[in-house]
Structure 1
Amino acid sequence: MLQTSQDTCFPAAQTLRCPGGRVLDLSWPRVMGILNLTPDSFFAGSRIQAPDDLLRRAEVMLHAGAAVLDLGGYSSRPGAEHISEDEEKRRLLPAVEAVRQAFPEAFLSVDTFRASVAAEAVAAGADIINDISGGSLDPDMLPTAGRLGVPYILMHLRGTPQNMTQHTHYEGDIVLELVRYFRDKLVELRQHGVTDVVLDPGFGFAKTPAQSHELLRRLPELAVLGLPILAGLSRKSMVYKPLGLTPDAALTGTVAVNAQAVLNGARVLRVHDVAEAIQTIQLVSPTFPPTSP
Protein backbone atom coordinates (compact mmCIF):
# COMPACT_ATOMS: atom_id res chain seq x y z
CA MET A 1 0.00 0.00 0.00
CA LEU A 2 1.35 3.43 -0.93
CA GLN A 3 1.90 6.02 1.74
CA THR A 4 0.14 9.34 1.31
CA SER A 5 1.08 12.85 2.39
CA GLN A 6 -0.28 12.13 5.87
CA ASP A 7 2.10 9.19 6.21
CA THR A 8 5.09 11.35 5.27
CA CYS A 9 3.97 14.30 7.43
CA PHE A 10 3.89 16.84 4.62
CA PRO A 11 0.81 19.08 4.70
CA ALA A 12 -1.31 19.90 1.67
CA ALA A 13 0.90 22.93 1.09
CA GLN A 14 -0.48 26.19 -0.26
CA THR A 15 2.60 28.30 0.49
CA LEU A 16 6.38 28.17 0.25
CA ARG A 17 8.26 29.82 3.10
CA CYS A 18 11.32 31.57 1.73
CA PRO A 19 14.29 33.39 3.28
CA GLY A 20 13.62 36.73 4.93
CA GLY A 21 10.17 35.68 6.09
CA ARG A 22 8.70 36.03 2.60
CA VAL A 23 5.93 33.63 1.60
CA LEU A 24 5.05 32.51 -1.93
CA ASP A 25 1.32 31.85 -2.16
CA LEU A 26 0.43 28.78 -4.23
CA SER A 27 -3.31 28.83 -3.61
CA TRP A 28 -3.61 29.57 -7.33
CA PRO A 29 -1.28 28.61 -10.22
CA ARG A 30 1.88 30.68 -10.51
CA VAL A 31 4.42 31.17 -13.29
CA MET A 32 8.17 30.52 -13.06
CA GLY A 33 10.19 32.30 -15.74
CA ILE A 34 13.26 30.52 -17.12
CA LEU A 35 16.54 32.44 -17.25
CA ASN A 36 19.09 30.24 -19.03
CA LEU A 37 22.74 31.11 -18.43
CA THR A 38 23.95 28.26 -20.63
CA PRO A 39 25.26 28.61 -24.20
CA ASP A 40 23.62 25.36 -25.33
CA SER A 41 20.02 25.41 -24.07
CA PHE A 42 17.71 23.41 -26.35
CA PHE A 43 15.68 26.58 -27.07
CA ALA A 44 18.09 29.05 -28.61
CA GLY A 45 15.74 31.96 -27.98
CA SER A 46 16.15 31.56 -24.23
CA ARG A 47 19.95 31.83 -24.14
CA ILE A 48 21.19 34.92 -22.31
CA GLN A 49 24.19 36.54 -23.94
CA ALA A 50 25.17 39.39 -21.59
CA PRO A 51 24.45 40.84 -18.09
CA ASP A 52 22.23 43.62 -19.47
CA ASP A 53 20.24 40.98 -21.41
CA LEU A 54 19.74 39.05 -18.16
CA LEU A 55 18.31 42.03 -16.29
CA ARG A 56 16.17 43.08 -19.23
CA ARG A 57 14.64 39.62 -19.51
CA ALA A 58 14.12 39.40 -15.76
CA GLU A 59 12.32 42.74 -15.77
CA VAL A 60 10.10 41.73 -18.69
CA MET A 61 9.16 38.45 -16.98
CA LEU A 62 8.37 40.09 -13.65
CA HIS A 63 6.35 42.82 -15.32
CA ALA A 64 4.39 40.14 -17.21
CA GLY A 65 3.50 38.45 -13.93
CA ALA A 66 6.16 35.84 -13.16
CA ALA A 67 6.07 34.88 -9.48
CA VAL A 68 9.49 33.19 -9.61
CA LEU A 69 12.60 33.54 -11.76
CA ASP A 70 14.53 30.28 -12.25
CA LEU A 71 18.24 30.71 -12.99
CA GLY A 72 20.36 27.85 -14.27
CA GLY A 73 23.96 27.50 -15.40
CA TYR A 74 24.03 23.78 -16.30
CA SER A 75 22.14 22.68 -19.40
CA SER A 76 19.97 19.63 -18.71
CA ARG A 77 18.83 19.02 -22.28
CA PRO A 78 19.37 15.43 -23.52
CA GLY A 79 23.04 14.85 -24.24
CA ALA A 80 24.12 18.19 -22.79
CA GLU A 81 27.80 18.81 -22.15
CA HIS A 82 28.90 18.05 -18.61
CA ILE A 83 30.59 21.07 -17.01
CA SER A 84 32.55 21.51 -13.78
CA GLU A 85 31.20 22.98 -10.57
CA ASP A 86 33.52 25.95 -11.01
CA GLU A 87 32.13 26.67 -14.47
CA GLU A 88 28.55 26.35 -13.25
CA LYS A 89 29.27 28.77 -10.41
CA ARG A 90 31.00 31.18 -12.78
CA ARG A 91 27.88 31.33 -14.92
CA LEU A 92 25.32 31.30 -12.13
CA LEU A 93 26.45 33.16 -9.02
CA PRO A 94 27.04 36.62 -10.54
CA ALA A 95 23.65 36.35 -12.22
CA VAL A 96 21.87 35.52 -8.96
CA GLU A 97 23.57 38.45 -7.25
CA ALA A 98 22.70 40.83 -10.08
CA VAL A 99 19.03 39.83 -10.25
CA ARG A 100 18.68 39.94 -6.45
CA GLN A 101 20.17 43.43 -6.33
CA ALA A 102 18.02 44.71 -9.19
CA PHE A 103 14.79 43.07 -8.00
CA PRO A 104 15.01 42.65 -4.23
CA GLU A 105 11.40 41.50 -3.82
CA ALA A 106 11.49 38.82 -6.53
CA PHE A 107 11.43 35.12 -5.68
CA LEU A 108 14.49 33.43 -7.19
CA SER A 109 15.06 29.73 -7.68
CA VAL A 110 18.33 28.13 -8.69
CA ASP A 111 18.31 25.20 -11.12
CA THR A 112 21.16 22.94 -9.99
CA PHE A 113 21.74 19.37 -8.80
CA ARG A 114 24.96 20.26 -6.93
CA ALA A 115 24.85 20.97 -3.22
CA SER A 116 27.78 23.40 -3.17
CA VAL A 117 26.31 25.40 -6.05
CA ALA A 118 22.93 25.52 -4.31
CA ALA A 119 24.50 26.67 -1.03
CA GLU A 120 26.47 29.48 -2.67
CA ALA A 121 23.49 30.52 -4.75
CA VAL A 122 21.29 30.80 -1.65
CA ALA A 123 24.03 32.86 0.00
CA ALA A 124 23.99 35.09 -3.09
CA GLY A 125 20.24 35.63 -2.84
CA ALA A 126 18.36 32.59 -4.17
CA ASP A 127 15.20 31.51 -2.33
CA ILE A 128 14.43 28.05 -3.73
CA ILE A 129 16.44 25.01 -4.87
CA ASN A 130 15.22 23.43 -8.12
CA ASP A 131 16.97 20.04 -8.35
CA ILE A 132 16.36 17.96 -11.47
CA SER A 133 17.95 14.91 -9.83
CA GLY A 134 16.01 14.68 -6.58
CA GLY A 135 19.32 14.37 -4.76
CA SER A 136 20.45 11.38 -6.85
CA LEU A 137 23.43 13.15 -8.48
CA ASP A 138 24.89 14.65 -5.29
CA PRO A 139 24.47 12.87 -1.93
CA ASP A 140 24.99 16.16 -0.10
CA MET A 141 22.02 17.89 -1.76
CA LEU A 142 19.19 16.80 0.55
CA PRO A 143 21.15 17.48 3.77
CA THR A 144 22.18 20.84 2.32
CA ALA A 145 18.58 21.75 1.50
CA GLY A 146 17.60 20.93 5.06
CA ARG A 147 20.46 22.96 6.49
CA LEU A 148 19.64 25.96 4.32
CA GLY A 149 15.96 25.83 5.26
CA VAL A 150 14.70 26.81 1.80
CA PRO A 151 11.92 25.30 -0.34
CA TYR A 152 12.97 22.40 -2.54
CA ILE A 153 11.62 21.39 -5.95
CA LEU A 154 11.85 17.60 -6.20
CA MET A 155 11.96 16.25 -9.76
CA HIS A 156 11.81 12.71 -11.09
CA LEU A 157 14.81 11.71 -13.21
CA ARG A 158 16.52 8.49 -14.21
CA GLY A 159 20.19 8.60 -15.12
CA THR A 160 21.82 11.91 -16.02
CA PRO A 161 21.18 14.57 -18.67
CA GLN A 162 23.88 12.84 -20.72
CA ASN A 163 22.25 9.39 -20.75
CA MET A 164 18.61 9.83 -19.66
CA THR A 165 17.25 8.98 -23.12
CA GLN A 166 18.52 5.44 -22.49
CA HIS A 167 16.29 5.09 -19.40
CA THR A 168 12.78 5.44 -20.82
CA HIS A 169 11.67 1.82 -20.30
CA TYR A 170 9.34 1.38 -17.32
CA GLU A 171 8.46 -2.16 -16.25
CA GLY A 172 5.15 -1.19 -14.67
CA ASP A 173 2.78 1.75 -14.58
CA ILE A 174 4.74 4.98 -15.03
CA VAL A 175 2.52 7.06 -12.72
CA LEU A 176 2.69 4.44 -9.98
CA GLU A 177 6.49 4.49 -10.29
CA LEU A 178 6.50 8.27 -9.86
CA VAL A 179 4.24 8.09 -6.81
CA ARG A 180 6.55 5.55 -5.20
CA TYR A 181 9.63 7.58 -6.11
CA PHE A 182 8.18 10.76 -4.60
CA ARG A 183 6.95 8.90 -1.51
CA ASP A 184 10.43 7.56 -0.76
CA LYS A 185 12.17 10.87 -1.50
CA LEU A 186 9.74 12.73 0.74
CA VAL A 187 10.67 10.46 3.62
CA GLU A 188 14.34 11.34 3.05
CA LEU A 189 13.57 15.04 2.83
CA ARG A 190 11.60 14.95 6.06
CA GLN A 191 14.52 13.21 7.78
CA HIS A 192 16.79 16.07 6.69
CA GLY A 193 14.34 18.73 7.90
CA VAL A 194 13.05 19.92 4.53
CA THR A 195 9.47 21.07 5.04
CA ASP A 196 8.44 23.01 1.92
CA VAL A 197 8.44 20.82 -1.20
CA VAL A 198 7.12 21.10 -4.76
CA LEU A 199 6.88 17.99 -6.96
CA ASP A 200 8.02 18.00 -10.60
CA PRO A 201 7.15 14.90 -12.69
CA GLY A 202 10.11 15.66 -14.97
CA PHE A 203 8.38 15.86 -18.33
CA GLY A 204 10.87 14.81 -21.01
CA PHE A 205 13.45 13.61 -18.49
CA ALA A 206 13.93 9.86 -19.10
CA LYS A 207 10.48 9.90 -20.71
CA THR A 208 9.39 9.70 -24.32
CA PRO A 209 6.90 12.24 -25.68
CA ALA A 210 4.16 9.61 -25.40
CA GLN A 211 5.07 8.90 -21.77
CA SER A 212 5.13 12.61 -20.98
CA HIS A 213 1.65 13.06 -22.45
CA GLU A 214 0.39 10.14 -20.40
CA LEU A 215 1.80 11.79 -17.28
CA LEU A 216 0.13 15.05 -18.20
CA ARG A 217 -3.26 13.38 -18.67
CA ARG A 218 -2.89 11.55 -15.36
CA LEU A 219 -1.43 14.45 -13.38
CA PRO A 220 -4.39 14.45 -10.92
CA GLU A 221 -3.23 11.04 -9.67
CA LEU A 222 -0.19 12.70 -8.07
CA ALA A 223 -2.56 14.64 -5.80
CA VAL A 224 -2.44 11.66 -3.43
CA LEU A 225 0.89 13.09 -2.22
CA GLY A 226 -0.76 16.33 -1.10
CA LEU A 227 1.92 18.68 -2.43
CA PRO A 228 1.96 21.36 -5.14
CA ILE A 229 3.03 20.22 -8.60
CA LEU A 230 5.30 22.05 -11.04
CA ALA A 231 4.84 21.41 -14.75
CA GLY A 232 7.85 22.13 -16.94
CA LEU A 233 6.45 21.69 -20.44
CA SER A 234 7.66 24.78 -22.23
CA ARG A 235 8.71 24.13 -25.86
CA LYS A 236 9.81 20.58 -25.03
CA SER A 237 10.03 17.66 -27.46
CA MET A 238 6.67 16.33 -26.25
CA VAL A 239 5.23 19.50 -27.79
CA TYR A 240 7.21 20.05 -30.96
CA LYS A 241 8.07 16.50 -32.08
CA PRO A 242 4.47 15.22 -32.48
CA LEU A 243 3.73 18.37 -34.50
CA GLY A 244 6.82 18.07 -36.67
CA LEU A 245 8.12 21.43 -35.46
CA THR A 246 11.15 22.88 -33.69
CA PRO A 247 11.34 24.49 -30.24
CA ASP A 248 11.22 27.94 -31.86
CA ALA A 249 7.79 27.14 -33.35
CA ALA A 250 6.31 25.45 -30.28
CA LEU A 251 4.68 28.35 -28.43
CA THR A 252 1.10 27.52 -29.47
CA GLY A 253 1.56 23.90 -28.48
CA THR A 254 3.08 25.00 -25.18
CA VAL A 255 0.01 27.10 -24.41
CA ALA A 256 -2.18 24.04 -25.07
CA VAL A 257 -0.27 21.69 -22.75
CA ASN A 258 0.06 24.39 -20.08
CA ALA A 259 -3.72 24.77 -20.10
CA GLN A 260 -4.08 21.02 -19.64
CA ALA A 261 -1.57 21.09 -16.77
CA VAL A 262 -3.45 23.86 -14.95
CA LEU A 263 -6.78 22.10 -15.42
CA ASN A 264 -5.17 18.93 -14.04
CA GLY A 265 -3.94 20.63 -10.89
CA ALA A 266 -0.48 22.09 -11.55
CA ARG A 267 0.36 24.97 -9.22
CA VAL A 268 3.54 26.19 -11.00
CA LEU A 269 4.20 26.50 -14.72
CA ARG A 270 7.90 26.73 -15.60
CA VAL A 271 8.04 28.59 -18.92
CA HIS A 272 10.09 30.59 -21.38
CA ASP A 273 7.07 32.74 -22.34
CA VAL A 274 5.62 34.31 -19.21
CA ALA A 275 2.90 36.57 -20.63
CA GLU A 276 1.29 33.71 -22.55
CA ALA A 277 1.38 31.46 -19.48
CA ILE A 278 -0.24 34.13 -17.35
CA GLN A 279 -3.04 34.53 -19.90
CA THR A 280 -3.52 30.76 -19.95
CA ILE A 281 -3.91 30.67 -16.17
CA GLN A 282 -6.30 33.62 -16.19
CA LEU A 283 -8.57 31.87 -18.69
CA VAL A 284 -8.59 28.29 -17.38
CA SER A 285 -7.81 28.34 -13.65
CA PRO A 286 -10.89 28.40 -11.39
CA THR A 287 -8.74 29.62 -8.48
CA PHE A 288 -7.01 32.54 -10.19
CA PRO A 289 -7.80 35.87 -8.46
CA PRO A 290 -10.47 37.67 -10.52
CA THR A 291 -9.36 40.61 -12.60
CA SER A 292 -11.13 43.96 -12.58
CA PRO A 293 -14.00 44.18 -15.12
Structure 2
Amino acid sequence: MKVKSLKLTLSFMLIFSILWPAVVTEAKDSVKVGKITAVSGKSEVKKSGGTKKFNAFKGMAITQGDTIITGSDGQVNLDLDANKEVTIGAGTTLTISQLVESAKALGGKTSLKLQNGQVLIKVKKKLDGDSRFEIETPTAIMGVMGTEFFVSVNPNQGNPALIGGLGNNGYLGVLEGTVRVASPLNPNANAFSITASQQLLMNGQQWNREPLSLEGLPPFALEQHMKYLQEEQKLTEVMKNQLERLIQQKKDAMAALKPTPTPAPQIIYPVSPSASPGKGVVPTSAPTLTPEPTASPTP
Protein backbone atom coordinates (compact mmCIF):
# COMPACT_ATOMS: atom_id res chain seq x y z
CA MET A 1 0.00 0.00 0.00
CA LYS A 2 2.83 2.36 0.88
CA VAL A 3 4.53 1.71 -2.47
CA LYS A 4 1.28 2.33 -4.34
CA SER A 5 0.65 5.56 -2.40
CA LEU A 6 4.19 6.74 -3.15
CA LYS A 7 3.71 6.05 -6.87
CA LEU A 8 0.47 8.07 -6.88
CA THR A 9 2.18 10.95 -5.13
CA LEU A 10 5.08 10.95 -7.59
CA SER A 11 2.66 10.78 -10.53
CA PHE A 12 0.69 13.74 -9.21
CA MET A 13 3.88 15.78 -8.74
CA LEU A 14 5.00 14.98 -12.27
CA ILE A 15 1.69 16.04 -13.80
CA PHE A 16 1.66 19.24 -11.71
CA SER A 17 5.20 20.15 -12.80
CA ILE A 18 4.18 19.72 -16.46
CA LEU A 19 1.01 21.79 -16.15
CA TRP A 20 2.44 24.56 -13.94
CA PRO A 21 4.03 26.64 -16.76
CA ALA A 22 0.72 26.62 -18.62
CA VAL A 23 -1.09 27.81 -15.51
CA VAL A 24 1.37 30.70 -15.15
CA THR A 25 1.09 31.58 -18.84
CA GLU A 26 -2.69 31.70 -18.72
CA ALA A 27 -2.72 34.01 -15.71
CA LYS A 28 -5.01 36.99 -16.21
CA ASP A 29 -3.89 40.59 -16.57
CA SER A 30 -4.43 42.77 -13.51
CA VAL A 31 -5.54 46.41 -13.38
CA LYS A 32 -2.79 48.94 -12.77
CA VAL A 33 -3.00 52.34 -11.06
CA GLY A 34 -1.45 55.56 -12.38
CA LYS A 35 -0.87 58.78 -10.45
CA ILE A 36 -1.14 62.51 -11.10
CA THR A 37 2.20 64.15 -10.29
CA ALA A 38 1.37 67.82 -11.00
CA VAL A 39 -1.69 69.99 -11.70
CA SER A 40 -2.13 73.59 -12.75
CA GLY A 41 -5.18 75.61 -13.78
CA LYS A 42 -8.65 74.14 -14.17
CA SER A 43 -8.33 70.33 -14.38
CA GLU A 44 -10.90 67.64 -13.57
CA VAL A 45 -11.21 63.84 -13.51
CA LYS A 46 -14.33 61.82 -14.31
CA LYS A 47 -13.95 58.40 -12.71
CA SER A 48 -14.72 55.21 -14.60
CA GLY A 49 -18.46 54.51 -14.89
CA GLY A 50 -19.47 57.80 -13.28
CA THR A 51 -20.72 61.17 -14.49
CA LYS A 52 -19.54 63.43 -11.67
CA LYS A 53 -16.30 65.36 -12.17
CA PHE A 54 -13.75 65.82 -9.39
CA ASN A 55 -11.04 68.46 -9.18
CA ALA A 56 -7.68 66.91 -10.06
CA PHE A 57 -4.94 67.09 -7.43
CA LYS A 58 -1.36 65.98 -7.02
CA GLY A 59 -1.18 62.35 -5.88
CA MET A 60 -4.66 61.48 -7.21
CA ALA A 61 -4.93 57.84 -8.36
CA ILE A 62 -5.88 57.23 -12.01
CA THR A 63 -7.24 53.86 -13.13
CA GLN A 64 -8.59 52.21 -16.25
CA GLY A 65 -11.69 54.00 -17.58
CA ASP A 66 -10.95 57.40 -16.00
CA THR A 67 -11.19 60.57 -18.12
CA ILE A 68 -9.00 63.64 -17.54
CA ILE A 69 -10.38 67.01 -18.67
CA THR A 70 -8.32 70.22 -18.66
CA GLY A 71 -9.68 73.75 -19.03
CA SER A 72 -8.31 76.60 -21.14
CA ASP A 73 -5.53 77.17 -18.58
CA GLY A 74 -5.19 73.58 -17.28
CA GLN A 75 -2.27 71.17 -17.37
CA VAL A 76 -1.80 67.72 -15.80
CA ASN A 77 1.32 65.58 -15.46
CA LEU A 78 0.54 61.88 -15.18
CA ASP A 79 2.69 58.82 -14.41
CA LEU A 80 1.16 55.60 -15.75
CA ASP A 81 4.07 53.65 -14.28
CA ALA A 82 7.81 54.18 -13.72
CA ASN A 83 8.51 54.28 -17.47
CA LYS A 84 5.46 56.01 -18.98
CA GLU A 85 4.77 59.71 -18.50
CA VAL A 86 1.98 61.80 -20.05
CA THR A 87 1.84 65.60 -20.03
CA ILE A 88 -1.67 66.85 -20.83
CA GLY A 89 -2.06 70.37 -22.22
CA ALA A 90 -4.93 72.84 -22.02
CA GLY A 91 -8.34 72.15 -23.56
CA THR A 92 -7.85 68.38 -23.60
CA THR A 93 -10.07 65.35 -22.99
CA LEU A 94 -8.09 62.13 -22.51
CA THR A 95 -9.52 58.72 -21.49
CA ILE A 96 -7.45 55.88 -20.04
CA SER A 97 -8.97 53.06 -22.11
CA GLN A 98 -6.65 50.31 -20.84
CA LEU A 99 -4.13 50.28 -18.02
CA VAL A 100 -3.13 46.79 -16.89
CA GLU A 101 -0.18 44.72 -15.75
CA SER A 102 0.49 42.08 -18.36
CA ALA A 103 0.84 38.47 -17.24
CA LYS A 104 3.26 37.83 -20.12
CA ALA A 105 5.44 40.95 -20.08
CA LEU A 106 6.74 43.50 -17.60
CA GLY A 107 5.76 46.47 -19.76
CA GLY A 108 2.02 45.92 -19.41
CA LYS A 109 -0.71 47.11 -21.75
CA THR A 110 -1.72 50.75 -22.03
CA SER A 111 -4.24 52.38 -24.35
CA LEU A 112 -5.23 56.05 -24.34
CA LYS A 113 -8.04 57.80 -26.25
CA LEU A 114 -7.44 61.44 -27.13
CA GLN A 115 -10.81 62.95 -28.00
CA ASN A 116 -9.52 66.49 -28.37
CA GLY A 117 -6.58 68.56 -27.23
CA GLN A 118 -2.89 67.76 -26.96
CA VAL A 119 -0.50 65.51 -25.06
CA LEU A 120 3.23 64.88 -24.88
CA ILE A 121 4.11 61.23 -24.16
CA LYS A 122 7.40 59.80 -22.94
CA VAL A 123 7.99 56.03 -22.87
CA LYS A 124 11.41 55.77 -21.27
CA LYS A 125 11.98 52.05 -21.66
CA LYS A 126 11.56 50.15 -24.93
CA LEU A 127 8.60 47.77 -24.78
CA ASP A 128 8.91 44.16 -25.87
CA GLY A 129 7.03 40.87 -25.99
CA ASP A 130 3.37 41.20 -25.08
CA SER A 131 3.77 44.82 -23.92
CA ARG A 132 1.71 47.45 -25.72
CA PHE A 133 1.22 51.21 -25.66
CA GLU A 134 -1.34 52.78 -28.00
CA ILE A 135 -2.95 56.16 -28.34
CA GLU A 136 -6.12 56.52 -30.40
CA THR A 137 -7.52 59.69 -31.96
CA PRO A 138 -10.62 60.10 -34.15
CA THR A 139 -8.41 59.79 -37.26
CA ALA A 140 -5.41 57.65 -36.23
CA ILE A 141 -4.20 54.79 -34.05
CA MET A 142 -0.58 55.10 -32.93
CA GLY A 143 1.46 52.22 -31.56
CA VAL A 144 4.58 52.94 -29.55
CA MET A 145 7.56 50.81 -28.59
CA GLY A 146 9.69 53.34 -26.74
CA THR A 147 9.85 57.00 -27.63
CA GLU A 148 8.93 60.64 -26.97
CA PHE A 149 6.26 62.22 -29.11
CA PHE A 150 3.56 64.90 -29.20
CA VAL A 151 -0.02 64.36 -30.43
CA SER A 152 -2.82 66.85 -30.96
CA VAL A 153 -6.39 66.60 -32.24
CA ASN A 154 -8.09 69.55 -34.00
CA PRO A 155 -5.20 71.86 -33.09
CA ASN A 156 -6.73 74.91 -34.77
CA GLN A 157 -9.84 74.79 -32.61
CA GLY A 158 -9.10 77.01 -29.66
CA ASN A 159 -5.76 78.70 -30.22
CA PRO A 160 -4.14 78.78 -33.68
CA ALA A 161 -0.81 79.78 -32.12
CA LEU A 162 -0.39 76.31 -30.64
CA ILE A 163 0.34 74.56 -33.91
CA GLY A 164 0.74 77.46 -36.29
CA GLY A 165 -2.07 76.34 -38.60
CA LEU A 166 -0.66 72.87 -39.34
CA GLY A 167 -2.83 69.76 -39.50
CA ASN A 168 -6.50 70.64 -39.33
CA ASN A 169 -7.57 67.21 -38.02
CA GLY A 170 -4.48 66.13 -36.15
CA TYR A 171 -0.75 66.38 -35.68
CA LEU A 172 1.99 63.96 -34.65
CA GLY A 173 5.54 65.07 -33.95
CA VAL A 174 8.13 62.41 -33.02
CA LEU A 175 11.04 63.71 -30.97
CA GLU A 176 12.63 60.34 -30.28
CA GLY A 177 12.12 56.71 -31.36
CA THR A 178 9.39 55.47 -33.72
CA VAL A 179 5.59 55.61 -33.80
CA ARG A 180 3.56 53.20 -35.93
CA VAL A 181 0.46 54.87 -37.42
CA ALA A 182 -2.71 53.29 -38.85
CA SER A 183 -6.06 54.75 -39.90
CA PRO A 184 -9.22 53.45 -38.16
CA LEU A 185 -11.27 54.99 -41.00
CA ASN A 186 -9.50 52.88 -43.62
CA PRO A 187 -8.63 49.43 -42.20
CA ASN A 188 -7.34 48.25 -45.59
CA ALA A 189 -4.64 50.92 -45.70
CA ASN A 190 -1.16 49.80 -44.70
CA ALA A 191 0.28 51.09 -41.43
CA PHE A 192 3.45 53.16 -41.67
CA SER A 193 6.11 54.50 -39.31
CA ILE A 194 6.98 58.05 -38.29
CA THR A 195 10.55 58.15 -37.01
CA ALA A 196 12.49 60.63 -34.88
CA SER A 197 12.66 64.18 -36.28
CA GLN A 198 9.58 63.63 -38.45
CA GLN A 199 6.04 64.96 -38.17
CA LEU A 200 2.69 63.93 -39.62
CA LEU A 201 0.07 66.52 -40.59
CA MET A 202 -3.49 65.18 -40.88
CA ASN A 203 -5.81 67.18 -43.13
CA GLY A 204 -8.90 65.05 -43.78
CA GLN A 205 -7.83 62.03 -45.82
CA GLN A 206 -4.63 63.80 -46.89
CA TRP A 207 -1.75 62.98 -44.56
CA ASN A 208 1.62 64.64 -45.12
CA ARG A 209 4.89 63.39 -43.62
CA GLU A 210 7.71 65.91 -43.41
CA PRO A 211 10.74 66.91 -41.29
CA LEU A 212 9.90 67.83 -37.70
CA SER A 213 9.58 71.52 -36.85
CA LEU A 214 9.52 72.49 -33.20
CA GLU A 215 7.30 75.38 -34.26
CA GLY A 216 4.45 72.87 -34.21
CA LEU A 217 4.74 72.26 -30.44
CA PRO A 218 3.03 74.43 -27.80
CA PRO A 219 5.02 75.90 -24.87
CA PHE A 220 4.14 73.16 -22.35
CA ALA A 221 5.47 70.44 -24.68
CA LEU A 222 8.67 72.39 -25.40
CA GLU A 223 9.24 72.95 -21.68
CA GLN A 224 8.73 69.26 -20.90
CA HIS A 225 11.00 68.24 -23.80
CA MET A 226 13.72 70.53 -22.46
CA LYS A 227 13.32 68.93 -19.02
CA TYR A 228 13.77 65.43 -20.51
CA LEU A 229 16.89 66.55 -22.39
CA GLN A 230 18.32 67.95 -19.16
CA GLU A 231 17.57 64.73 -17.23
CA GLU A 232 19.30 62.69 -19.94
CA GLN A 233 22.25 65.16 -19.99
CA LYS A 234 21.62 65.94 -23.67
CA LEU A 235 20.77 69.63 -23.26
CA THR A 236 23.53 71.90 -24.56
CA GLU A 237 23.69 75.63 -23.86
CA VAL A 238 22.90 76.40 -27.50
CA MET A 239 19.83 74.11 -27.47
CA LYS A 240 18.67 75.60 -24.18
CA ASN A 241 18.85 79.16 -25.52
CA GLN A 242 17.02 78.20 -28.72
CA LEU A 243 14.24 76.40 -26.85
CA GLU A 244 13.79 79.19 -24.30
CA ARG A 245 13.57 81.77 -27.09
CA LEU A 246 11.01 79.66 -28.98
CA ILE A 247 8.94 79.09 -25.83
CA GLN A 248 8.81 82.83 -25.15
CA GLN A 249 7.80 83.55 -28.76
CA LYS A 250 4.99 81.00 -28.48
CA LYS A 251 3.73 82.48 -25.20
CA ASP A 252 3.79 86.00 -26.64
CA ALA A 253 1.83 84.85 -29.70
CA MET A 254 -0.79 83.12 -27.51
CA ALA A 255 -1.09 86.20 -25.26
CA ALA A 256 -1.64 88.43 -28.32
CA LEU A 257 -4.59 86.27 -29.38
CA LYS A 258 -6.40 86.59 -26.05
CA PRO A 259 -9.31 89.08 -26.19
CA THR A 260 -8.83 92.38 -24.35
CA PRO A 261 -11.35 92.72 -21.49
CA THR A 262 -13.93 95.50 -22.06
CA PRO A 263 -14.05 98.01 -19.18
CA ALA A 264 -17.35 98.30 -17.30
CA PRO A 265 -19.45 101.36 -18.29
CA GLN A 266 -19.31 104.33 -15.92
CA ILE A 267 -22.67 105.26 -14.37
CA ILE A 268 -23.46 108.99 -14.17
CA TYR A 269 -26.21 109.92 -11.74
CA PRO A 270 -28.77 112.78 -12.24
CA VAL A 271 -27.77 116.37 -11.58
CA SER A 272 -28.17 117.54 -7.99
CA PRO A 273 -29.30 121.09 -7.11
CA SER A 274 -25.80 122.02 -5.94
CA ALA A 275 -24.13 120.89 -9.15
CA SER A 276 -23.22 123.23 -12.00
CA PRO A 277 -25.83 123.48 -14.78
CA GLY A 278 -25.49 120.89 -17.54
CA LYS A 279 -23.19 118.60 -15.58
CA GLY A 280 -23.85 115.29 -13.88
CA VAL A 281 -22.45 114.17 -10.54
CA VAL A 282 -20.33 111.01 -10.33
CA PRO A 283 -20.52 109.77 -6.73
CA THR A 284 -17.28 108.65 -5.12
CA SER A 285 -19.10 105.75 -3.45
CA ALA A 286 -22.21 103.73 -4.11
CA PRO A 287 -25.46 105.48 -3.02
CA THR A 288 -27.00 104.25 0.23
CA LEU A 289 -30.65 103.34 0.56
CA THR A 290 -32.84 105.15 3.13
CA PRO A 291 -34.41 102.60 5.48
CA GLU A 292 -38.19 102.49 5.64
CA PRO A 293 -39.70 103.64 9.02
CA THR A 294 -40.79 100.86 11.32
CA ALA A 295 -44.37 101.09 12.63
CA SER A 296 -44.74 101.25 16.44
CA PRO A 297 -47.33 98.95 18.04
CA THR A 298 -50.61 100.64 19.19
CA PRO A 299 -51.25 100.23 22.98
Same fold (TM over 0.5): no
- Give TM-score, length-normalised by structure 1: 0.30
Bigger share in strand: 2
Larger radius of gyration: 2
Instruction: Answer 1 or 2: higher relative contact order, Cα 8 Å, separation at least 6.
Output: 1
- Give TM-score, length-normalised by structure 2: 0.30
Bigger share in helix: 1
